[in-house]
Amino acid sequence: MLRIENLHVSVEDKKILNGIDLHVGPGEVHAIMGPNGSGKSTLAWVIAGNEDYQIEEGNLLFKGQPIEDLDPEERAVQGIFLSFQYPVEIPGVTVTNFIKTSVNAIRKARGLSDMPAGELLQKIRKTAEKLQIDSKFLSRSLNEGFSGGEKKRNEVFQMMMHEPTLSILDETDSGLDIDALKIVARGVNEMRSPKRSTVVITHYERLLEYIVPDYVHVILDGKIVKSGDKTLAQKLEAQGYDWIKNS
């Protein structure tokens, strides 16, 4: 599904990633953990195609094809979805309108006609119910004045609308209280299938109690320094990152 080989990335001449190797197979959930500034979010942005992030070396393959040269929207069409750590506010565009525009843009790029309005609205309503999103929320301007938790829930809402093959959740747990976390995790888990993969980026083990990963990777100074199963996350929670640095 996603294959990253010896990836070196810099931003404005500052080296952030120093040779990442990561292979995410179909149906797998990978967690990427690490302290602030270790390069977790950079990895997410470079997969999604932010052009501020310069690939110096290495390969980035999705479904066996290199994607370095694809625009962000082309990657979305391929089935990549990034849930932003800090979702952007767009005053003047409602949640529903934005979702409609993006869903139909992807359909158009895939050679499909617009989703019929009735069908789209029904899907929006069903998905909103699953995430316990109030229908009033859907006619508000995108992310404008949303609480941190509402923004994150809105990201997962869009993810479920798009049904991507690879979801990258960047710090989706931050800003969520425990009830909201459970609701969001339920949504992510519902999407799990042998054909879909998920990369969960997080500081804390807490989210991984609800979205149980197949693999856990620890990233430090732009490199994956340790990989393991879910017990690695528990060990990190108990002992902190110093334990890895010192080992």
Partner 1 sequence: MEFKEKLLSSFFALQEAVLLDDNPLIEDRRNQAFKTFEEKGFPTRQQEAWKYTSLSPLLSEDYVIFPSGDVGIHPNDVKKYFLYEMDTYKIVFIDGVYSPFLSNTHHDGFDVNLFSVALNQKQHRRTIDTYFNTIAPSGEPLVALNTAYAHEGAYIYIPKNKAPQSPIEILHFSSGDSPALWLQPRNLIVVEQGSEAQIIERHQSLVEHPVVTNSVTEIYAGKNASIEYYKIQDDLDSASLIDSTFIHQETHSHVSVHTSSLGGKIIRNNLNFHQAGKAINSTLKGITVLEGNQHVDHSTLVHHAQPHCESHQDYKGIFRGSSQGVFNGKILVDRMAQKTNAFQQNNNIILSDKAVCNAKPQLEIFADDVRCSHGCTVGQLDQNALFYAQSRGIPIKEAEALLTYAFANNVLESVSIPFLKKHISLQIASKFGVEMGFGV
When the beta carbons of 40 and 218 are compared against partner 1, the nearer one is: 40
Q: Does 90 bind partner 1 (CB under 8 A)?
A: yes
Q: How far is the CB of 45 from partner 1 (least distance, A)?
A: 8
When the beta carbons of 90 and 225 are compared against partner 1, the nearer one is: 90
Per the listing, tokens 């931050």 go with 174
When the beta carbons of 170 and 205 are compared against partner 1, the nearer one is: 170
For the segment 123-182, give every residue that binds partner 1 (CB under 8 A).
Answer: 141, 158, 162
Q: Does 202 bind partner 1 (CB under 8 A)?
A: no
Q: Does 94 bind partner 1 (CB under 8 A)?
A: yes
Among 87, 187, 213, 222, binds partner 1 (CB under 8 A): 87
Tokens in use for 168? 């990258």
Q: How far is the CB of 99 from partner 1 (least distance, A)?
A: 8
- In the complex, the residues that contact partner 1 under the rule CB under 8 A are 48-50, 71-73, 75-77, 81-82, 84, 87-94, 96-98, 100-103, 105-106, 109, 141, 158, 162
